Amino acid sequence: MKIRQPRTAAQHDEGKTRLPEASRAPTALIAEDEPPIAAALERELAAAWPELQIVAAVGNGHAAIERIGALQPDVAFLDISMPGATGLDVARACANLAAPPQIVFVTAYDEYALDAFDAAAIDYLLKPVDAARLARTVDRLRVQLARAPTDGAPGAQVQADLQRLVGQLEQITRGVQLGNRTQDTGRNEPLRYLRASSGRDIRIVPVEEVLYFEAADKYVVVTTRTGELLIRTSLKELCAQLDPARFWQVHRSTVVNVDQVESASVSALGTMSLKLRGHSGAVAVSKQYAHLFRQM
């Protein structure tokens, strides 16, 4: 990876106006806390935009803010959910820079209300990155970077636009979790549909079809009769959106759809497990929750 060295104060004063893209290679920073995803995005960008130089790849929001300020990349690809500071936090910090980069948000799940990104006119990429979608993003970025400043303040308009758009995006997404919007009554209705990933596809799954949820690192594995899907959220956040009368926690990392429980059995060692309708495997129940199924 080629890293551009930060400019000195003298160099900064001599050349505050960025050169047009045609005069030098465009530069970018990738902020992504999952190295395989960051590496994949870098490969896709190398194919879609060969002249682009990746000046840094960082794994958290605070590092992204520091590196963007030091390296002044033309473009910043920001993961929405990062430790330390979110992609929105980084974008908000960029809006205070004299010459903010073009921002592209990268997200693993449309539960983050991707329609809000469209409404705010901020570009985004959905993980895993699709080559055709990335090509459209690159085309937009080329156009933006080719627009030479005419008012003597190269970052002023971009700065104002970014402040407005990030504020708009925060308003639209405020209170949105897992694609569920607050109802007119002022309370959240139980989640009825899930938008979960299966490879490169996003599937819409009615919650009643879910057999159980299981926490797995930064993801929740959604098990149905037809297979497994992924949601990038915590089990705790997911449980807050589910109907507690239907979805019961049976283990620190597992929540089952009680409507799908066929029977409960106890082994010779005293451990309990559940058999779910249409599912060959067994779901373990911890001692803390075993009392829920004693009479089954």
Q: Domains of the chain (ranges plus CATH)? A: 9-173 (3.40.50.2300), 193-293 (2.40.50.1020)
- Residue 13 in this model has a pLDDT that exceeds 50: no
pTM: 0.53
Q: Sheet containing 227-231: give its strands across.
A: 201-206, 193-198, 227-231, 219-224, 210-216, 254-257, 247-251
Return mean pLDDT, the chain.
79
Query: In the structure, what pLDDT confidence band is assigned to residue 187 with cuts at 50, 70 and 90?
Result: very low
Supply the pLDDT for residue 219.
Answer: 86
Supply the pLDDT for residue 171.
Answer: 56
CA distance 236 to 210: 17
- The mean pLDDT of 186-215, rounded to a whole number, is 82
Residues in the chain: 296
- The mean pLDDT of 226-234, rounded to a whole number, is 88
- Residue 77 in this model has a pLDDT that exceeds 80: yes
Q: How much of the chain, in percent, has pLDDT values that exceed 90?
A: 39
CA distance 291 to 207: 25
- Residue 252 in this model has a pLDDT that exceeds 70: yes
Supply the pLDDT for residue 3.
Answer: 42
- The mean pLDDT of 21-47, rounded to a whole number, is 88
Asked whether 271 and 259 are in contact (CB, 8 A), the reply is: no
Higher pLDDT, 178 or 84: 84
CA distance 64 to 275: 47
